[in-house]
Structure 1
Amino acid sequence: MITPLLFIGSLIFILVLTVKFRISPFVTLISASFLYGILEGNDPSILLQVIGTGAAKFFQILGIMVFCGVCIAHMLRRSGHIDTIVYDISCVVKNPVDTAGIGGFILSLPLMCCNTAFVLIAPIIERTVGKEGKAPYLYVAAIGSIISFVLIYPSPAVVPVVTTLFSNLHDPWALNTILVPLAGLFLVLLLIYTRVTGTILPQEKPCPSGHPRLKAWAPIISPFILVGIGLIIPAVSFLSIISVALFAGLLVAMITVGKEAREIGMHEGTKYAGLIMFDLCGAGAFGAVIAAGSFPADIYTLISGSIPVIILPFILAAALQAASGSRVVSAATTAQILHAAGYPGIYPAALILMIAGGSCMVSFVSDPYFWLVRRFTGDETWGVIRNYTLPLAGIGILIGCAGIILQFISG
């Protein structure tokens, strides 16, 4: 039963390297993988194979998705098409708070990264409300982007959970019949909370970029259209594979944004996507090392009978989020641990909710998004905790409660 202590020690090790020394998550996670594996008594050569296999698995699952989403985002930013998209959203929803929240919520899905969605929408918010009044809108945009990112398939925070724990699931898209309405409900609750507690200033509509709407929206909409066609027509079912659909969206973006935006956007997007993928591969390596040892069985034996089985994914995801700061890392590693433990059958959507809720609980100093939001809002640390960390934790608790209720209903 020493492995739970090794696991806690690894989390502290990751937290110290991440927060105090600001070391790259990839280096931190790979170091933690070696440290944990060696202390558990693994042969270094075998340990290296496990680390390589875990990293390669994540690259296989997420590599194309992340590259395409991030490059699309950078091309949209360079071309100015993102201004048109946000302007159109503001024309539909009218209320400026809704524009920020729904904008973040929508953009994080096709862009495959909540951080990237926030970086795109934040300058537009600042231009329309000014530096003095931007903070409430930025907070709601940030949390809105996280809600869809942790809940809706095929986000990189959901895909590893599905592929690891529910590989035999015939149609993972069907999960969205439950997850999308719930994500929408949590977004509505966030918007209501912001209006009640926040100081919202009048906002002018953002100025459109002048680009045709079809060109602006085509890279965002085309992947979803292709997925729908693939799900409806069996002969072209391969189009429903998200990597295929997003690659098609990338090609559409390359055609519509123009030569200069295409060249600069692809160059910047490739660099940023590389950083993200290295971090994700580090998460895959760390999760693989833990899953290959006795920790999953030990932790399951330790908590069996003391807490409800449905709570374990929530606790694991929260602990991993606190240590690594990455929602994808926490979700994917939790899934690997549960799979290795032979976790008892839980309704898929309920398990996704529990992991998602846990990954929202401790978004503090180890969370890169925390510092990103602090930089854009200009608030002090306590202001970011009050307006970002605590509301997001509240959303996490609600998501976890929804998972428990769903599991109870499903039997």
Structure 2
Amino acid sequence: MDPLVAFFITLVLITVFSLWYRITPFFTLIGGAILFGLLAGMTPDATMLGIVEGVGRVFSAFGIIILCGAIIAKLMEEQKQTEEIVSDIRRVVHHPPVIAGSSGYLLSVPVTCCVTSYIMLIPIIECIGKDRTGRTVLLYLAAVGGVISYALIYPTPVVIPLFGAFSRGISPLAFDAVSVPLSLAVLGAVLLYFRFFSPYAATRRDSSAFLPSGTGDCITDKTQGIHWRAWAPFIVILLAIPVSLFLLKLSHVSMINIIMLAGTVTAISLAPPAARTAGLSRGAKHGGFIIFDICGAGALGFVIVQSGFASTALNQMTLVIPVILVPFFLAALIETAQGSRVVTAVIAAEVLAKSPVISTIHPIPLILLISAGACIVSYVTDPFFWLVQRTTGDDIRTVVRYYTLPIALAGILILIVAVTLQYLVFR
């Protein structure tokens, strides 16, 4: 069967089974990977080997990060440190939705991983919200804000392979002179989307709706000093970034793992014995659920890529789609198929570098077109989708509405700007 047809059949069945039977995502995605492999003509052995390798790749990329983040969060909960951080934030925060979105946006660049930045923010955001709906809105904004900067700004892992393949001598500063203002404008559009289209009543009231009322467990005494002990894991994580890059000269993969380990060691060291035991146990359990969900997405994505999906898609698209839109649709299909924006960038760069498409499009619009396509469909193959679903506790429909659709909106805006630049500025 044609890989494109097999892909769409698999996507529909995964959605139906997820919504109807509410099976844990790991088994749904593994089942989808088996189905796709067999429909696409892969042997059972090749399909299972692809699943195993896909699980292994995602586990190696995110396992340490997610486990460390979960342990830090649970250790903070055991010691009421999230409440202490909130008491510090309430002194300066006047509009929590903006803070949540901009925090995810800003952290993704130095951390070079939107998943890591989101995990770092979870324990803080979960206590900022007045109730569950308020907290959920803030979590979505942090996730979407992180994806925006991650997909657009050099030097993140999404942009680096694209810039290396297509820059043709253009300075990174010249690219960021376009991408940074664009990303800020897109973030503003996403904030407006949540303000006017979110069903949560909290988004239509003043910003105090997001803040704790002060009657619960959250500490609100403004006469206290800054709770440095509660902030210590995050301070160590941020300080470890320049140390990892400039002193130890670590690679990107090593860096994001070592900074999370440094933060976790700090949190464990500062926790009293009782909190340490409970936090480690609860963190390992919570992290395990998240890790296996996203590993299922990795299995499906790897099997799809191994089937030759990308090359088939490019050959068919060049026959019916205007050249200016080919990079966008190719990236959108690759992203939908395997879920990782970094993998989308790498595969798109490899496939397009050998095609005549790149000679007709200026490097800056070309990179933006691929970044836009990588944002269009963040769905069941996207590991971040399942992380957000797990941490918000929402059903798939809701996650699509407030994670997938805002990121798709960002992709459409980036597409419009890229096409405009190509025809009006770089002709």
TM-score range for the pair, normalised by the shorter chain length:
0.7 to 0.9
**8 A contact 1:361–1:393 mirrored in 2:** no
Match of 1:282, SS state, is helix
The structural deviation recorded for 1:284 is 2.1
Output the amino acid matched with 1:247. L
C-alpha RMSD of matched pairs (Å): 4.5
1:354 partnered with 2:364? no
* Residue of structure 2 equivalent to 1:329: 339
The structural deviation recorded for 1:142 is 2.1
* Residue of structure 2 equivalent to 1:53: 53
Distance in 1, Cα, partners of 2:87 & 2:259: 25
The structural deviation recorded for 1:219 is 0.8
Output the amino acid matched with 2:371. L
Partner residue of 1:309 out of 326, 342, 357: 326
**8 A contact 1:288–1:336 mirrored in 2:** no
* Residue of structure 2 equivalent to 1:323: none
Distance in 1, Cα, partners of 2:100 & 2:77: 17
- The one-character-per-residue Cα deviations of 1:180-206 (angstroms, maximum 9, x if unpaired) are 776555444444566678532362965
* Residue of structure 2 equivalent to 1:324: none
* Residue of structure 2 equivalent to 1:208: 219
Output the amino acid matched with 1:57. R
Match of 1:112, SS state, is helix
1:237 partnered with 2:249? yes
Distance in 2, Cα, partners of 1:313 & 1:357: 12
The structural deviation recorded for 1:255 is 1.6
Distance in 1, Cα, partners of 2:287 & 2:421: 35
In structure 2, relative to structure 1, the CA distance for the partners of 1:166 and 1:278 (3 Å cut) is farther
* Residue of structure 2 equivalent to 1:199: 204
Is there any run of 5+ residues in structure 2 with no aligned partner, and where? 167-171, 198-202, 213-217
**8 A contact 1:101–1:191 mirrored in 2:** yes
1:121 partnered with 2:139? no
Map 1:252-331 → 2, pairs under 5 A: 252-305=266-319, 306-307=321-322, 308-313=325-330, 315-316=332-333, 319=336, 329=339, 331=341
What TM-score does the superposition give when structure 2 sets the normalisation length? Answer: 0.70
Match of 1:83, SS state, is helix
366-375 vs 69-78, which deviates more?
366-375
The structural deviation recorded for 1:58 is 1.7
In structure 2, relative to structure 1, the CA distance for the partners of 1:256 and 1:176 (3 Å cut) is farther
Output the amino acid matched with 2:125. I
**8 A contact 1:318–1:330 mirrored in 2:** yes
349-358 vs 283-292, which deviates more?
349-358
**8 A contact 1:84–1:213 mirrored in 2:** yes
- The one-character-per-residue Cα deviations of 1:16-56 (angstroms, maximum 9, x if unpaired) are 12111111221112111111212223222232222212221
**8 A contact 1:313–1:358 mirrored in 2:** no
The structural deviation recorded for 1:251 is 0.2
Distance in 2, Cα, partners of 1:176 & 1:260: 48
In structure 2, relative to structure 1, the CA distance for the partners of 1:167 and 1:71 (3 Å cut) is farther
Give the number of aligned pairs: 383
Distance in 2, Cα, partners of 1:75 & 1:182: 38
- The one-character-per-residue Cα deviations of 1:246-286 (angstroms, maximum 9, x if unpaired) are 11111011122333332222212212221222122222221
In structure 2, relative to structure 1, the CA distance for the partners of 1:165 and 1:23 (3 Å cut) is farther
Distance in 1, Cα, partners of 2:406 & 2:140: 11
In structure 2, relative to structure 1, the CA distance for the partners of 1:114 and 1:406 (3 Å cut) is farther
Distance in 2, Cα, partners of 1:51 & 1:386: 29
**8 A contact 2:104–2:145 mirrored in 1:** no
**8 A contact 1:361–1:392 mirrored in 2:** no
106-115 vs 258-267, which deviates more?
106-115
Map 1:104-253 → 2, pairs under 5 A: 112=116, 114=118, 117=121, 121-126=125-130, 135=133, 138-149=136-147, 151-152=149-150, 184-191=184-191, 198-201=203-206, 203=208, 206=212, 207-208=218-219, 213-233=227-247, 236-238=248-250, 241-253=255-267
**8 A contact 1:37–1:47 mirrored in 2:** yes
206-215 vs 7-16, which deviates more?
206-215
The structural deviation recorded for 1:370 is 6.4
Output the amino acid matched with 1:302. Q
Is there any run of 5+ residues in structure 1 with no aligned partner, and where? 321-327
Output the amino acid matched with 1:237. K
